[in-house]
Structure 1
Amino acid sequence: MKNVYPLILLLILSLLGACKKAEYTSELFKSKEIYIAFKASTGNNYKYVVATSSWTGYSSATTLTIKDGKVVGRAYISKMLVNNVVKVDKEWIEDAATLGSHTEGAALRNLDDVYEIARKEWLKKRDDADVYFEAKNDGMISSAGYVNKGCQDDCFNGISISAIAKL
């Protein structure tokens, strides 16, 4: 009986630790369920836009095209503010044959990958950071990530998705 108490204590501590592994777990789960239904309704054919922005006036948008669950296209545009006028800085399109040929832009991921990275990395509870999650794309993921405490400018680590649409 003596040996049972340390095991029970270990089990309780591991369960408490599991509760602190990720933030927004239930919201992420609900959002993923909505995404799974969307994916089924589109035959796993959709596109989504990853957006970035900076306090300096720089912004970018990467549109990823997914067919049968695989990334088959990527389009990128970046803009910057010059003398209060927004100007296109770079713009390109990759097709299936040229995927990954540019260094700029969002990573070649489908939304299954995005949800998995959000769960494992971006939404982990962190003592040194604030964690954020939003599902403003008809209930699907729109923002997941963290900002280190004390960081002043352009500190978001994660993903911002401005649109998700069927093909």
Structure 2
Amino acid sequence: MKALYLSVIIILISITGCKKDNIANENEFNKSYNAWLSFKKGSNNSYVYTTNFGSWTGYGSETKIGVINGKITSRDFTAVRLRRDGTNKQDTVSQWHEDADHINTHPNDAGESLTLDGVYQKAKTVWLKADKKNNDIYFETKNNGMISSCGFVKKGCQDDCFNGITIDLISPVQF
């Protein structure tokens, strides 16, 4: 009987703990989303944001998305690789620009073309909904309260396992 009570207590604690984690993530997301809505209004939904990717192999990339009045108007991509000669210098291995009429015409190394509305939607419906038993979930807001990192990593994965987005910079477009 004592073992049954102990089991019930453990189950209740784990269920309560999960709910608190979910509520904390949801509150964090909502706070960040409200910061985004305020920025969106103040910038007339016109902004630039920059994402990045870095690998342990020395490869890295940066994608800059331009948005005017809620529509993607440009996408710039640069990929670099560290030299293996001990100098820590980088070589550009790919670089291109897309204007409004040519969005998504280059290989998808740059990731999905999303407005920040799309980023928040994907964060809410995909990245933050990953199975917590099998994944570690991340959500950070280092861009004046707006999303800076959101995604998940499969537990036990060792290299380049992040599935999500990392945003270095969000700034309004000045007209």
Aligned residue number for residue 59 of structure 1: 60
Give a deviation string over 1:69-100, Cα, whole Å, max 9, x none: 11111000011101232111111000011111
Q: 2:32 matched to 1:31?
A: yes
Kindly tell me the number of residue pairs found equivalent between the two proteins: 151
Secondary structure in 1 matching 2:119 = helix
Give a deviation string over 1:23-81, Cα, whole Å, max 9, x none: 71111110010010000001000010111000111110100000111111100001110
Aligned residue number for residue 165 of structure 1: 171
Partner Cα separation in structure 2 for residue 102 and residue 47 of structure 1: 19
Aligned residue number for residue 154 of structure 1: 160
Q: 2:76 matched to 1:95?
A: no
Aligned residue number for residue 124 of structure 2: 119
Q: Structure 2-normalised TM-score? A: 0.81
Aligned residue number for residue 44 of structure 1: 45
Secondary structure in 1 matching 2:123 = helix
Q: Which runs of 4+ in 1 moved over 3 A?
A: 18-23
Partner Cα separation in structure 1 for residue 120 and residue 112 of structure 2: 14
- Computed over aligned residues only, the root mean square deviation of the Cα atoms, in angstroms, reads 1.8
Q: Structure 1-normalised TM-score? A: 0.85
Aligned residue number for residue 143 of structure 2: 137
Which structure shows the higher helix fraction? 2
How far off is 1:108 after superposition? 1.2
Gaps of 5+ in 1: 1-15
Q: Which amino acid aligns with 1:73?
A: S
Q: Contact 1:23–1:131 (CA<8 Å) still a contact in 2?
A: no
In structure 2, the CA distance between the partners of 1:158 and 1:81, relative to structure 1 (3 Å rule), is same
Percent identity between matched residues is: 39
1:105 to 86, 110, 119: 110
Partner Cα separation in structure 1 for residue 122 and residue 23 of structure 2: 12
Q: Contact 1:23–1:123 (CA<8 Å) still a contact in 2?
A: no
Partner Cα separation in structure 1 for residue 104 and residue 22 of structure 2: 32
